[in-house]
């Protein structure tokens, strides 16, 4: 298993040549990476974000509720009433 020595860099391992693989490349001078970024980008951002709110908000609300409950419980346990209630048992 293994140990035959260096077999070349990734992509030129000495295996059989690939056939039928076509690659395309666009020159960076032909791309317009920021075309319509302000006019269409902000609209797409809000459209995509609003479509995901149903998935995100329940988790955010659950996290907030657990954190809020935990902080209130912690404050109560460290208060005079909390100490008295703990030592009643």
| Interatomic CA distance for residues 89 and 87, integer angstroms | 6
Token digits of residue 76:
């109560």
Domain residue extents for the chain: 28-88
What is the reported pLDDT for 29?
77
Q: What is the pLDDT of residues 31-63, one digit of tens each?
A: 777 777 788 888 888 999 999 999 999 999 999
What is the reported pLDDT for 46?
92
| Interatomic CA distance for residues 7 and 16, integer angstroms | 13
Using alpha carbons, list the distances in angstroms from residue 32 to 1, 38, 43: 49, 13, 19
């Amino acid at each position: 298993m293994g140990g035959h020595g260096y077999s070349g860099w990734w992509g030129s391992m000495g295996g059989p040549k690939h056939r039928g693989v076509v690659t395309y490349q666009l020159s960076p001078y032909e791309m317009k990476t920021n075309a319509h970024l302000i006019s269409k980008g902000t609209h797409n951002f809000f459209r995509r974000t609003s479509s995901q709110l149903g998935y995100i908000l329940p988790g955010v609300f659950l996290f907030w509720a657990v954190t809020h409950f935990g902080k209130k419980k912690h404050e109560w346990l460290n208060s005079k009433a909390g100490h008295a209630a703990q030592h009643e048992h």
